[in-house]
């Protein structure tokens, strides 16, 4: 999931879109674009959703770890030692 987000963010930045910095920066617009793309797999599950994330720190990884810490009743982390240390 984090690699898809990073790929789509970089893709948007490299496409040379016109930017009006009055409302948002290129980085903010690239984040929005990437976030919309990751919503596609996130909204397709019926009952259970399994998301793979890498071990490297990333925007998506940090967001998912925060969600797991805030909602341990609905997010189960597999392969992480201690969520409380996050």
Rounded to two decimals, the pTM is: 0.76
pLDDT for position 61: 87
Of 16-20, 28-32, 34-38, 63-67, the poorest mean pLDDT is in 16-20
Per the model's pLDDT, the better-predicted residue between 60 and 55 turns out to be 60
8 A C-beta contact, residue 61 and residue 53 = yes
Q: Collect all residues with Cβ–Cβ distance below 8 Å to 54 and sequence separation of at least 6.
A: 2, 3, 61
**Number of domains present in the structure of the chain:** 1
Name residue, tokens 């919503």: 39
pLDDT for position 83: 54
Q: For 36-70, give the secondary structure using H, E and C.
A: HHHHHHHCCCCCCCCCCCCCCCCHHHHHHHHHHHH
29-48 pLDDT, tens digit per residue, is 999 999 999 999 889 988 88
8 A C-beta contact, residue 6 and residue 57 = no
Rounded CA gap, 41 and 66, in Å? 19
Average pLDDT over residues 8-33: 89
Q: Which domain holds residue 47?
A: 2-85
């Amino acid at each position: 999931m984090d690699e898809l987000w990073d790929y789509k963010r970089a893709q948007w930045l490299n496409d040379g879109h016109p930017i009006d910095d009055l409302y948002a920066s290129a980085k903010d617009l690239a984040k929005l674009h990437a976030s919309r793309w990751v919503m596609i797999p996130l909204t397709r599950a019926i009952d259970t959703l399994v998301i793979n994330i890498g071990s490297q720190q990333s925007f998506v990884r940090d967001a998912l770890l925060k969600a797991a810490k805030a909602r341990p009743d609905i997010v189960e982390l597999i392969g992480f030692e201690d969520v409380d240390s996050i």
